[in-house]
Amino acid sequence: MTITDDASMNGSTVYRLRPGWRLQWEEAQQRHVLLYPEGMVQLNDSAGAILATLDGQRDVDGVVATLQAQFPDAPPTAIEQDVLEFLLDADRQGWIHHD
């Protein structure tokens, strides 16, 4: 795992969606959206794939491994970097949290 600017994140950190937030596939928009009490966030494919792996059980290393298995043609380091950057950003925005 690459060093990040969040000292509380490491390979064993387990993230989950904030209470009251829900990931959903929107057929009409052909994309995942993140629903929360005040509205909705439209997600790109990468964000939807990452959030879909956050089950409150899988740690960061597990998220990376799952996505590397789902997308074997993608460079592993690119997946890892995308996951780490997205999780940091989603945490800062309050979409997800960890214990």
Q: Domain residue spans in the chain?
A: 15-93
15-93 fold:
Arc Repressor Mutant, subunit A (1.10.10)
pLDDT tens sequence across 23-35: 999 999 899 999 9
pLDDT tens track for 84-97? 999 999 999 999 99
pTM: 0.89
pLDDT (tens digit, 9 = 90+) per residue, 21-72? 999 999 998 999 999 999 999 999 999 999 999 999 999 999 999 999 999 9
CB atoms within 10 A of CB 49: 20
Structure-token pair, residue 25? 């596939």
Task: Give 59's Cβ-side CA count (13 Å radius).
Answer: 9
Pairwise CA distance, residues 61 & 23, whole Å? 21
